[in-house]
Amino acid sequence: MTIVPTGEALAAEVLGVDLRNLSDEEFTAVHRAWLDHLVLLFRGQHLTDADLIRFSRRFGDLDWAPVQETGRRFVEGHPEIYVVSNVVENGVPIGSLGAGEAVWHTDMSYLETPPKASILYALEVPAAGGNTYFCNMVQAYESLPDALKMQAAGLTVKHDATYNSGGYVRQGLTAVDDPVESPGVYHPLAPIHPETGRRVLYLGRRRNALISGLPLAESESLLDEIWSHATRPEWVWGHQWQVGDLVLWDNRSTMHRRDAFEPAFRRILHRTQIKGSQRPAA
């Protein structure tokens, strides 16, 4: 097994492993590399849903997938699997997020204890477009101007529960576009990563975010400043998908977004999400 860093702000490719048969020694090295590089790419895998779940479980218990946009849970017998797809069968989307852009976000941060990791596995990919980008929120935090860093340390921010990253309203919720009124959960803006001890910026998503204790206008301008810093190209690595790619990310120390793609192309990825062990804490 070889770990090859991308040379960008984050991420490494792991060569020479079959994730269906990972020894304990290999898993320990993968786990270490995941904490070190925040995102890992494994190419050329051949996984069934059961294989994907079995590999994911080595990191811990899994969260059930969010209910898909159509209100159904997909993949019979595997409630842990979230289908990310634009494919429509018999008039019904088989998954979530469509073919549009998915804006910068962290998965499921509307939970009190969000997942610590997510895994995406590519089954069908478009000929062009639909690339996924990750940003390094350790570097984003550490490079904040000192005044902003000090200010961030004491703040909490609301993580909206209304919309997913594709802009679709989540199942069971109604559209709300007032950050003061929208449902969500507050997390520290700059929590300590429980496994590395490093401080990160933890933003969740921009839409309907609100910094606790600030009037809306002040919250908006501070969030705009922090967001434009956090998503600067120097903290970002982008991935162009091939069938058989598996990407594992640390959901506490990264955010991700996806480019739109031509809706006539088919794109199908299966995702698992690994339960966090504790609430984000400052």
Distance (Å, whole) CA 219 – CA 223: 6
Minimum CB–partner distance for residue 11 and Mn ion (Å) = 16
Among residues 199 and 271, whose Cβ is nearest to Mn ion? 271
Q: Confirm or reject binding of residue 107 to Mn ion (CB under 5 A).
A: yes
Distance (Å, whole) CA 136 – CA 201: 9
Q: Confirm or reject binding of residue 80 to Mn ion (CB under 5 A).
A: no
Q: Confirm or reject binding of residue 245 to ligand OGA (CB under 6 A).
A: no
- Residue 81 tokens read as 């699997």
Minimum CB–partner distance for residue 280 and ligand OGA (Å) = 18
Q: Confirm or reject binding of residue 160 to Mn ion (CB under 5 A).
A: no
Q: Confirm or reject binding of residue 111 to ligand OGA (CB under 6 A).
A: no
Q: Considering only residues 141-170, where is the footprint of ligand OGA by CB under 6 A?
A: 165
Distance (Å, whole) CA 118 – CA 247: 8
Among residues 65 and 140, whose Cβ is nearest to ligand OGA? 65
Choosing from 41, 256, 261, 270, the residue that interacts with ligand OGA (CB under 6 A) is 256
Residue closest to 223 by CA, chosen among 173, 155, 164: 155
Q: How many CB atoms lie within 10 A of CB 178?
A: 9
Distance (Å, whole) CA 269 – CA 86: 10
Q: How many CB atoms lie within 10 A of CB 242?
A: 11
Binding site for ligand OGA (CB under 6 A): 84, 97, 102, 107, 118, 120, 132, 165, 256, 258, 269, 271
Binding site for Mn ion (CB under 5 A): 107
